[in-house]
Chain A
Amino acid sequence: MSENEPRAAAHKPAMSIEKAQKARRKFLQSVGLTAGIVGISLLGYIPVTSARTTRLRPPGALDEADFLSSCIKCGQCVQVCPVAAIKLGDIDDGFGLGVPYIAARDQACDFSCDAVQCILACPTGSLTYHKPDFLGVRAGAPLAHAPILKAKENDAEPSLNLKERFGVARLARPESCLAVQGKGFKGQARGPAFKGEMRYVDVDRWAPIPVRDHPYERDICDLCVTECPIKDAISLQPFVNEAGDQRFMPVVQEQCVGCGVCEMICPVEPAAIVVDAQAVWKGAAR
């Protein structure tokens, strides 16, 4: 032993074979872990690129890609919404996880906050009054003039600070529209089980109430027109159908911001009128 000792010391490898193997294994496992986690994180691309659903984003939202990148996923917009219209995306939304959206049929944004509170709450400018200059504006996205909120039409400042629309309403199923059929409507717009809320100025200027607590009675159904919170965004227009009968049809106007109240309030199932999320105005003859 004493004979071999100096030699062993001189030729002692930096690391024993066993140790080297262990280190190698650890390194490979670490590489595997890295690849695995990064791979999983990139799965978020699938829902985003396949665009399975185009979400209706809250008012003032940047265009989708910028919205997803700038949103910090904190949900402060959720907290300020008086009608709880804003929900957060889940992991099946991919990179849209934790990003706010509105399911208009369940609960639309009726601007009962009067001031677009969600924009005010956003800490990163994902929801914004003023889009920064370096971000492009899609044709048909800007509103011709500031939308006037019917609820505060008589106030000193009747308009909403909203430059671009976040969607556009469309009469998707004219055949099921009650007005087109010449029918009226009586009762709870969405039935007794519907949980959605809306602000009715004649009931309470400041507190929204459940839609089921506010029944309607109309000779010709015009809920989408009367309940639309924005002035001049939709109107009921007469037409003569193929059978020669005088009928009415809701027609979406250029001031439509895409809030989705018409979709929420439409009493037929499925809704005759829907909001196309993130759509732009393409002219009256759509």
Chain B
Amino acid sequence: MSRYLDLLKGMLGAAPKRPEKVSEKVQKIMFLKYEDKDRYIKEKLHARDHHIVSHKWRNRRWAVLIATNLLFVFSFWLDIQILEGALTASRFVGFHLIDLNSALHVMLAHKHIIVNLFIGTFTVFLLWVLLGGRSFCSWVCPYHLLAEWTEKLHLWLVDRKIVTDHEFHRGTRTVFWLLFALLSVVTGYTIFETISPTGILSRALIYGPGLALGWVFLLLLFEVFWSRRAWCRYVCPIGLTYGAVGALSPLQITYHVEHCFHEGDCRKVCLVPHVLDVTVKGRAGEETLGLGPDCTRCGLCVDICPTGALRYEVKGLSKLL
């Protein structure tokens, strides 16, 4: 329970904590791991040598993300009417789907909820409770994909010492969430929607490009030259909304300390590396740990891990299988 609360606090911006108690089993695992240093190093190098670097999950995810967005596009362009609307609100074969953060802001700004809005919101809520809230970010959000691509440019520039990553406090996103909610209530306008690159990109894909893409471009520039993945990490309230929704999701990426060499490759590729704090030597209190609500289930860590210490798992189901 306390770890669960710590994970929630971590999502809001708190620094990860060391475990208060390390289970006997984990203590034993750690003892065995480091008992013989030579063997440990040998095993590590062996695992590295045999690691077939794959982009399995990344490719699957990109395919899903692109397919989802194209389904929106073609539903309108080719009039196939499967997924009509945009990411903020749509109908899937006639059934209402409404983005949770957009719906929240409409409710706060307009202060009135009609039945369709409620139905659509509830459907999407259930969907993301099951699939893990922030899966929306990495598996659906078009800005995530663009930012992922430009992130490569950022890292390339960092590598050549041309730019440095300026980190902000992760709690900034929580402040943004509260501020935008407050602004919606006070002004009566859905102010976040005006600058949300998710909505802007989704509409640009479906209804054609506009000046608003300039704002998205500026955000990407900021991320390339100033701060790595700044929008997703420190600003976007959509991520926090979905994170909260998926807090109890059965679909997770889990960490198995037994297989880990604590080298931190996973943390280097992660959008939200604080969720991988457990992979630091001595930070795992249990044998198996879920990464928590802020994890976007993007699978980059699963792909990069040479030993299979990080895996996709469905709580309950994985044990049955």
Chain A residues in contact with chain B, CB under 8 A? 26-27, 29-30, 33-34, 37-38, 40-42, 44, 48, 65-66, 68-76, 78-79, 88, 90-92, 94-95, 97-98, 121, 123-125, 132, 134
Residues 87-113 (chain B) with a chain A CB within 8 angstroms? 87-91, 96, 98-99, 102-103, 106, 109-110, 112
* With A37-B176, A124-B89: A88-B234 Cβ-Cβ less than 8 Å: no
CB neighbours of B172 from chain A (8 A): 30, 33-34
* With A27-B169, A73-B199, A91-B214: A41-B191 Cβ-Cβ less than 8 Å: yes
Q: How long is the Cα–Cα vector from A278 to B262 in the complex, in angstroms?
A: 64
* With A33-B234, A34-B172, A125-B114: A91-B85 Cβ-Cβ less than 8 Å: no
- On whether the beta carbons of A73 and B88 are closer than 8 Å, the reply is yes
- On whether the beta carbons of A123 and B194 are closer than 8 Å, the reply is no
Contacts A/B (CB < 8 Å), 21 sampled: A27-B169, A30-B169, A41-B180, A69-B109, A71-B106, A75-B207, A76-B90, A79-B76, A88-B203, A88-B207, A90-B212, A91-B200, A91-B211, A91-B214, A92-B211, A98-B88, A123-B96, A123-B98, A123-B116, A123-B117, A124-B106
- Nearest-neighbour CB distance to chain B for A148, whole angstroms, equals 28
- On whether the beta carbons of A73 and B86 are closer than 8 Å, the reply is yes
- On whether the beta carbons of A90 and B86 are closer than 8 Å, the reply is no
Give 5 closest A-B pairs by Cβ, nearest first.
A74-B89, A69-B109, A91-B212, A70-B110, A125-B114
- On whether the beta carbons of B189 and A44 are closer than 8 Å, the reply is yes
Q: Does B235 contact A (CB under 8 A)?
A: yes
- On whether the beta carbons of A76 and B114 are closer than 8 Å, the reply is no
* With A27-B169, A34-B175, A73-B86: A66-B110 Cβ-Cβ less than 8 Å: yes
CB neighbours of B214 from chain A (8 A): 91
Select A134's contact among B112, B184, B194, beta carbons within 8 Å: B112
Q: Whose C-beta in chain B lies nearest to the C-beta of A125? A: B114
- On whether the beta carbons of A91 and B210 are closer than 8 Å, the reply is yes
Q: Whose C-beta in chain B lies nearest to the C-beta of A42? A: B191
- On whether the beta carbons of B191 and A95 are closer than 8 Å, the reply is yes
- On whether the beta carbons of B189 and A75 are closer than 8 Å, the reply is no
- On whether the beta carbons of B110 and A94 are closer than 8 Å, the reply is no
Q: Does B120 contact A (CB under 8 A)?
A: yes
- Nearest-neighbour CB distance to chain B for A196, whole angstroms, equals 18
Prevailing SS type, chain B contact patch:
helix
- On whether the beta carbons of A72 and B191 are closer than 8 Å, the reply is no
- On whether the beta carbons of A74 and B194 are closer than 8 Å, the reply is no
CB neighbours of A48 from chain B (8 A): 189
Q: Does B24 contact A (CB under 8 A)?
A: no
Total interface residues in chain B, CB < 8 Å: 56
CB neighbours of B200 from chain A (8 A): 91, 97-98
Q: Does B188 contact A (CB under 8 A)?
A: yes
Map CB proximity to A onto B35-53 as digits: 1 under 8 Å, 0 otherwise: 0000000000000000000
Q: Whose C-beta in chain A lies nearest to the C-beta of B169? A: A30
Map CB proximity to A onto B206-218 as digits: 1 under 8 Å, 0 otherwise: 1100111011000
- Nearest-neighbour CB distance to chain A for B58, whole angstroms, equals 28
* With A41-B192, A123-B89, A123-B96: A73-B210 Cβ-Cβ less than 8 Å: no
Q: Does B265 contact A (CB under 8 A)?
A: no
Q: Does B190 contact A (CB under 8 A)?
A: yes
CB neighbours of A74 from chain B (8 A): 85-90, 102
Q: How long is the Cα–Cα vector from A94 to B211 in the complex, in angstroms?
A: 11
Select A76's contact among B85, B110, B189, B191, beta carbons within 8 Å: B85
Residues 138-174 (chain B) with a chain A CB within 8 angstroms? 166-169, 171-172
Q: How long is the Cα–Cα vector from A65 to B98 in the complex, in angstroms?
A: 22
Select A41's contact among B114, B167, B183, beta carbons within 8 Å: B183
CB neighbours of B91 from chain A (8 A): 76, 123
- On whether the beta carbons of B85 and A79 are closer than 8 Å, the reply is yes
**Given A72-B106, A72-B190, A76-B90; 12 other pairs, CB 8 A cutoff:** A29-B168, A34-B175, A40-B195, A44-B191, A68-B189, A69-B106, A69-B184, A73-B190, A74-B86, A79-B76, A90-B210, A123-B89
Q: How long is the Cα–Cα vector from A275 to B143 in the complex, in angstroms?
A: 39
CB neighbours of A30 from chain B (8 A): 168-169, 171-172, 175, 234
- On whether the beta carbons of A33 and B168 are closer than 8 Å, the reply is yes
Of B76, B110, B188, most buried by chain A (CB within 10 Å of CB) is B110
Q: How long is the Cα–Cα vector from A128 to B191 in the complex, in angstroms?
A: 22
Q: Does B193 contact A (CB under 8 A)?
A: yes
Select A75's contact among B109, B203, B235, beta carbons within 8 Å: B203
